Structure formats: structure tokens, C-alpha cells
Structure 1
Amino acid sequence: MSKVITLHDVSLRKNGNEILKNVNWEVNEGEHWAILGLNGSGKTSLLNIITGYHFATTGEVSVLGNLFGSTNLPELRKEIGYVSSSLERFSQVMDYETVEEIVVSGKFASFGIYEQVSDADWQKAERILTKLRLDYLLRKPYQYLSQGEKRRVLIARALMNDPKILIFDEPCSGLDVLSREEVLLLVQEVVKEQCHVLYVTHHIEEITKEITHVLLLNKGQVVAAGPKEEVVTNQLLSEAFHIPVNIHWENSRPWLTVLNEDIVKKG
């Protein structure tokens, strides 16, 4: 089985602080991972290393067969899609574009279109929107979409380059329950495209049946990594979240209950 991502003894230090400590992690072909951990656990730094925006202080990083230090990172990034609520900081540009313009811009990894767009590009954007059941949004201005629709359009945008890895960085942040479930349904469609998913979240109920594995981080270190049923346990999550929790499963999704509310109040 080929390796999609390999991190070997990876550490990251900034301003004298150790952000990641001796991280060893492998993503194999056909696996889809959730990444869990409290704020400050190193999730964002890990994503920045995988996408080549941060360089590991020590250790070895390989993504899609490209060993960092001897690869063309801008070219590699074209094979990695990215969806995050943080992309809405570009709304001043996106609000004046139509949905299909937003999707097409994914080909150029830009917000706004500054290059020539072919008829084939427009047709591909429409096919993606149709496949994701978003074709009812065609020709609508982005600014008039609901928050949930905007997130789903950003997923369509990320698929424009046929990425081999698609990173979801807290894509459901700020969404209501219905909008969240609509976004999670699209994760299933992404998996069908033979794209490897990395899904970062604080909310374990977003770990749908399509997610096969979980990486659990705590203070920059790996607490556990493996099949989700082996990692999403009472003991491991209580350790990583610093609070006793109980996990129960429904329809292949885990749900969390805090066991001692007094700890939360004292904290």
C-alpha cells in the first residue's frame, strides 16, 4: 500500500517553543483521517507542514511521494485542496463573484479570476456543482448565499483541480445543525472522487462513517493514531481533552458527553 503522507520524527520549534514534538504519522492510500485536539495542540501547525508553509525543525516529511527539501512545493500544493471557514476573510473579493466564478478560481488557487478561463473550465465547474447537487446556485452572486451554501461552494472550488488530498479545517464552524449535516454529506461525495480526506475538528460527531482513522494530538504530541474505533475512546479522549468524557456510537458516528461538569466550572 502506497504512502500518501509520511511524517518521521517531525518537530517544530518557534521562538523557543516546541509546537510539535517527535510526530510520527502515516496516511496510507484509501484512508481518510480526522485530526482531533484542543486549541494549541498543534493541528494547524501540522497542516502547515503538510502543505509546505512551515518547515519542520527536525524530521522527515513526504507528501504524495514528494520528499520535502527536494520537491517543488508550489506544484505539490496544486494537488492539495483546502476548505476552511477562515477562507471567508476573502469575502470582499468573493462577494462580487458568481458561484461558478468562485468554483473556477480554484483552478488557479486564487480569489478572483486573473487568468484566461477556457470553455472547458466553465463546463467542469458546472459538472462539479451538478455532482454536488449545487447546480441550483448557478449564476447566483456568492454574497447572497447562506453560510452553509458558501461552505459547500468552497468544497466545489477545492475539487476544481482534482486534488489527491483535500483538507477540511473546521469547515462546519459557525454553522447550524442542518447546514453542518449538508456539509458533512459532501465529505461522502469527496471520498467517492478517490480524494484522501484530512478532516480537522473539535467536534467528534463530525467524524462520519467515511472517516476511517483518527489522529489525536495533545500539546504537540501524538496521543494515538489509528482506526477511529481504537482512538475515539473514553480513556484516550479524556486524556487529550483534560476532562472525563463518555463516548457512544450511533450510525457509525461518535458522540461525546462530559461526565463531570464541576471540572468545567473550576477550569
Structure 2
Amino acid sequence: MTPSASPVATTHAAPLFELDRATVVRGATRVLHDLSLRIPLGQHTALLGPNGGGKSTFIKLINRELYPLAREGDAPVKVFGLRRWNVNELRNRLGVVTSDLTRDLQQMPYLRAEDAVVTGFFSSFMVPPHRQVDEGMRRRARRALDDVRALSLADRPVAELSTGEMRRVLIARALVHEPEALLLDEPTAGLDVVARQHFLALMRTLAQRGITLVLVTHHIEEIIPEIDRVLLLRDGVLHADGDRAATLTDAHLSHAFGGPVRVRHEGGFYRAEPDHA
């Protein structure tokens, strides 16, 4: 995200995310087609779809790495009701954890886990030369690590962390501002079976604490029971939008993923497998 002009006024009644006929073109390819959606604060939501369906483009719109096509009328993309936002103000309300952040952290192998969390105050994995890290920041960083059951990692270099441990550190980094919402991009990618279950339990804990979760994924197994709305995206178009039971069906997923899929529901979780019948 990049700093911009002062944001227009808003209230807490504004949606967390709002896209109004947002269209994105990359090269000669239209990757989002007049996409309209509205995610209220407080509604845990999953954005589900196959690779190449437009999920990453949605995240880049929120991060301001991409911009929608300009058109007359209201802004195509708003966050907390703002069409323009300052990164220093937005990060106090919205935490973002993406695969790009994982790669960035891996480039800082000698950084201690606690220091990695502290850098969340500066929107960089480095402390700017003109800024100081005070004890209050360190207390908040340790509290965030404790919140995700990673306080024992505080003094370890990130190079020594497993993928699951690194993911917890990144969540702590996002939580250091005590945000109202978290945007999570494929959070269990690269995790083994045990680490994946631990991470899903962490997601449930965060949701139950009242932090709004927006999960972007192509795995329905990641959609925890607390997530009550699923948006199904394919080829940059919204194909379904509803509660989990209405959206996670054989028909919807078979259409979205381009082949016969059978959906199973057990213990509050959904699972999908190819239907070879």
C-alpha cells in the first residue's frame, strides 16, 4: 500500500470492503469484469475460486498494487467507506497477511521474530532511520505473539522458523495494531497437516474474538465454521454469493473449478474431492 491524500470522512457503519463494478485489465486480459460486492465489518467471509479466477487481483486492489479502470460516478473500490486512504491510518484497522509478505520475511533471515512483529508499526521489514522503537511497541509486539501462541519464538531468527511458525509471526505482525479486520491470502499454503490444523484453530480463535476475517483461498477445507458467507469467483466474475450451505454445493463448485466435484460436510467443515462416478 502507498500513502495517499487525506481520506474522506467515514463512519464505522461503512462496509469493510466495497467494489462497485470494478474492472481490471492486465495487458490484453480482463481479469475482473464489473465486479460488485460488499463485505460488512463483522461478517466473516471467504472469497473462493480456482487459481487464475481473480482472487489475487482482489487483494492487489485492496493493497493498491493494482487500480481498476477509471469511470464516471462513485469510486469502484472502497475500504471502510474510503475511496482514498493513508497506509498509516488504514493499518490500524486492517491487518493483511499475503504470500508476498512471507517471501519478504524470508529475505530477512537474521531478523528476530519479535523484531519482525515490531516492523509492523512501520509497514516495512526495516525500521526507518528517523524512527525509534520504544518499549511500548515491544510490549505490544510480545502481546501479539502471545495472542497467537508464538511468544516462545520471540528471540529466534526467522531463518530458523518453520512455515507454520512464520505464518504465526506474520499474523502477530498484523495484529500488533489491534485491527478490526484481517485479510488472509491462502493462509495454510505450505503447511503440513498438523501445522494446518493448528492454524485453522488460530483462525477460529481470532474470529471468536470479534476480529472480522476475510479469507481468500481455493481450498474449501480452510473455510472455518465461523465464516458464514462465501463468494465464489471464476474468470473475474462472481458466480455465487451466499451462506456456506447455499454456496458450497456440488453444482456451484463443479462449475467454478471446471470439473465434477463432490462436496462433503462433517463437523462444521466442508471438503471437496473430484467426482469420478
Q: What residue is the counterpart of 2:4 in the other structure?
A: none
Q: Does 1:195 align with 2:208?
A: no
Render the CA deviation track for 1:130-178: whole Å, top value 9, x for unaligned.
Answer: 2222122221222112221111111111111222331111121111111
Q: Does 1:213 align with 2:226?
A: no
Q: What residue is the counterpart of 2:62 in the other structure?
A: 50
Letter aligned with residue 58 of structure 2: L
Percent identity, aligned pairs only, is 34
Q: What residue is the counterpart of 1:37 in the other structure?
A: 49
Superposition map of 1:75-86 within 5 A: 75=88, 77-78=90-91, 79-86=93-100
3-state SS in 2 of match to 1:22? strand
Letter aligned with residue 8 of structure 1: D
Q: Is this contact kept in 2: 1:51–1:80, CA < 8 A?
A: no
CA–CA distance in 2 between the matches of 1:73 and 1:9? 23
* Structure with greater helix share of residues: 1
Superposition map of 1:62-141 within 5 A: 62-66=78-82, 68=83, 71-75=84-88, 77-78=90-91, 79-91=93-105, 93-114=107-128, 115-141=131-157
CA drift at 1:90: 2.2
* Structure with greater strand share of residues: 1
3-state SS in 1 of match to 2:251? helix
Superposition map of 1:12-31 within 5 A: 12-31=24-43
CA–CA distance in 1 between the matches of 2:62 and 2:260? 31
CA–CA distance in 2 between the matches of 1:82 and 1:29? 15
Q: Calculate the TM-score normalised by the size of structure 2.
A: 0.87
Render the CA deviation track for 1:214-240: whole Å, top value 9, x for unaligned.
Answer: 111111100011212211111111100
Structure 2 unmatched runs, 5+: 1-12
CA–CA distance in 2 between the matches of 1:160 and 1:192? 18
Q: What residue is the counterpart of 1:264 in the other structure?
A: none
